[in-house]
Amino acid sequence: MSYFSELKSKKVVIVGGSKGIGKDMALAFAELESDVIITGRNEQDLQEAAAELQQHNPQCSYLTADIQDVQQIYNMIDLAHERLGRIDVLVNNAGINITKPSLEVTEEDWDRVLDTNLKGTFFCAQRAGKYMIEQGHAGKIINIVSQMAFVGYIKRAAYCSSKGGAVQLTKALAVEWAQHQIKVNAVAPTFIETDFTKTMFEDAAFHQDVLSRIPLGELAKPYDVTGAVLFLASDMANFITGETIRVDGGWTAI
């Protein structure tokens, strides 16, 4: 048996799929011959990522959308469904963080983080869930959250709130949509070693503080998250719903 072979020809939408862990996930699905649509705000990044995906599966493509805008979300999912014919897997990977002490967080900061990480996640899932229910067969929705859904950390009041909310959202949708055989789960990574986080870890004290909280003693790599996502998307996870897999090196086990 070839693991994940059932993902061949699956129709996959990855929100926030042009860079970092989103792109790594998209490449993994494309290598398994899933038909993947990646979405994001930066068209140049999307074009470059889609070109890489098409080397593995020419059916892969991209759509631009800002998920802080609900109408753009609806248009994005509608177009993805039209292009793919159905949606088997939705991965909600888009997310932002505005790092500030809590006393300095503005209403605009709060709204940007919550609108992307929680509101955007909900409305993407809502629209995709509508199509999954209408198409009458099981689907998978996978929300990328964070270990900070479970622990607090400095300068991340809005971020922790948004990711904690996304974990509870995952449970609520899993319970409500179980009757339709839609499995809704989440993956909660620790800090990931990407080009985006590289400058963040140039602060030696911050880097050491993070590593001191991870029993495995290293940062996660994008493929660590991708492995959990592929598992949840596969038939091996067909009896799992409402769960969050913590890819955090043991941070939340302490």
Cβ proximity of 126 and 143 under 8 Å: no
153 noted as active-site residue: no
SS3 190: coil
Cβ proximity of 233 and 142 under 8 Å: yes
Token pair of 157 as six digits: 């009041």
Give DSSP secondary structure letters for 120-164. Answer: HHHHHHHHHHHHHHHHTS-EEEEEE--GGGTS--TT-HHHHHHHH
Which pairs with CB-CB distance under 8 Å and at least 24 residues apart come from 194-201? 194/19, 194/20, 194/21, 194/222, 195/19, 195/20, 196/19, 196/20
Give, as one character, the DSSP assignment of residue 8: T
Among 3, 74, 159, 223, which one carries the catalytic annotation? 159
Catalytic residues: 159
